[in-house]
Amino acid sequence: MGTRHGVQDAKNLARCREQANEGKPKHHGKGNKLRFDSVSHDHQTEPNQKKGVKQMLHLSKGNKKLVPNDKVKFLIWSLPPISTCPFATELCKKFCYAMKAYRAYPNARNAWSENLEESRKWDFVPKMILEITKELERPSVKKAKVLVVRIHESGDFYSKEYAKAWMKIASYFVGYAPNKVKFMAYTKSIEYFEDETIPENMTVRFSLWSDTKEEQKALAEKMGLPIYTAVEEFTTESKRERCGCIDCGKCCKCWNKSIEKLMCEIH
């Protein structure tokens, strides 16, 4: 990255921080009336003032299944597995694919841990908005039909304040361009979204396992959340639509709210 762009990025972040404090974000599209209210996170920390300390958000742009193409691009955000999943079931913990990567790859482990630390800071919302905005300026993303922000390839919403932070981020992009930026998350932390208005560009799918508690199932039904179920094998009698694809960029079912019930095989 050249010096000129680095200076401009610093100015943009400074402006985002200033707007976050004043509650007056710069709008990118008509109809976006979001204001940055203060977001209180657990163990919130003040910005690091030490010189030479680079703070950053770690976002990847694809994985084995989230394969970008000319029409669909991805940004993936992750946190440490299980420790950030307050409603994880025993089966979920047993088959957690993210834990394999967490144990095997130090770079992933360090990045996800740093993401957790950043998510608790006062400027997480404006910094994430800036990162997504920068991605939207890339030529290949400009040409694409949609940018999908996959929240939590690993991890989950660990508090209501953190869930509300992501709703603020998604709300900011509602007015950017019609259907340009979509946010998607599978979660068991549905109680953090109860009585909240989930932005129209954000799909929150309830992650349902065979050992999910009945009260959680009832709450998901009450909230009208779309469902994603992990099964050991597909059965013909299931009334859920199968998600057996290996290329999410072509399938696009998961962030389609009109598909109420999806299932995949445990992988």
Nearest Cα residue to 169 out of 187, 186, 153, 151: 151
Burial class (CB in 10 A: 0-12, 13-18, 19+), 189: buried
Burial class (CB in 10 A: 0-12, 13-18, 19+), 72: buried
In sign, the C-alpha dihedral spanning 18, 151, 212, 85 is negative
DSSP structural state of residue 134: H
Question: The pTM is what?
Answer: 0.75
Q: Which value, in Å, is the radius of gyration of the alpha carbons in the chain?
A: 18
In degrees and rounded to multiples of 5, residue 208 shows phi and psi of -105, 125
At residue 31 the predicted structure's pLDDT band, cuts being 50, 70 and 90, is very low
Mean pLDDT of 22-37: 43
Mean pLDDT of 231-254: 49
Residue range 49-64, pLDDT digits in tens: 444 445 589 998 865 6
- Average pLDDT along the chain: 77
Mean pLDDT of 166-173: 96
Share of the chain above pLDDT 90, in %: 51
User: For position 237, what pLDDT does the model report?
Assistant: 42
Query: Which two structure tokens, joined as six digits, stand for 168?
Result: 């603020």
User: For position 52, what pLDDT does the model report?
Assistant: 43
Residues 6 or more apart whose CB falls under 8 angstroms from that of 1 comprise: 9
Q: Which of 42-51, 166-175, 180-189, 228-237 has the lowest mean pLDDT?
A: 42-51
Q: Over 50: is that where the pLDDT of 183 sits?
A: yes
User: For position 159, what pLDDT does the model report?
Assistant: 98
In sign, the C-alpha dihedral spanning 206, 220, 173, 115 is negative
Mean pLDDT of 170-190: 90
Which contacts qualify for 54-59: CB closer than 8 Å, 24 or more apart? 55/118, 56/114, 56/118, 57/115, 57/118, 57/127, 57/128, 57/131, 58/111, 58/112, 58/114, 58/115, 59/131, 59/135
In degrees and rounded to multiples of 5, residue 130 shows phi and psi of -65, -45
**Range among 35-39, 92-96, 188-192, 222-226 with highest mean pLDDT value:** 188-192
